[in-house]
Structure 1
Amino acid sequence: MTRVLALAVVLGVALAAPAADPAPEKTGIKVGEKAPAFKLKDQAGTERDLAALLKDGPVALVFYRSAGW
């Protein structure tokens, strides 16, 4: 009887307590949003700067995962 009462109390508290909303997952910039300044190495190991690339026009970044990772 005591176990049943304890279980009922635990369930009652769990159901009565409001569930906290999880923090929204940050997945990056939104479509159309300006990218932050950054530097990355290209496939040849040369460091590239976004600002320098943008001087020549629009930039498209492509990321892929190779089998060697």
Structure 2
Amino acid sequence: FIYIVRILIKIVMSNHHLATEYRQKAALTRFYQALTYAGTDIDKEERLIIINSLFSRVETGLVKTDTSN
């Protein structure tokens, strides 16, 4: 019973983490769209930072990954 409860807690926490992460990505997307719509000049480095953060991999926390690269 305790094992099932621990798994359910992990799944709920993972879903919460993913929802928060994608809300932030959606806000960043809207911000980038607003900048381009307003005609603001965005440097190549700034554009790379935004694109990399939008399309970066999101860790769910359910599977342990090796981050020693």
Normalised TM-score (structure 2) = 0.26
**Bigger radius of gyration among the two:** 1
Greater relative CO (CA pairs within 8 A, separation 6+)? 2
Scaled by the length of structure 1, the TM-score of the pair is 0.26
More strand by share: 1
Give the helix-richer structure, 1 or 2. Answer: 2
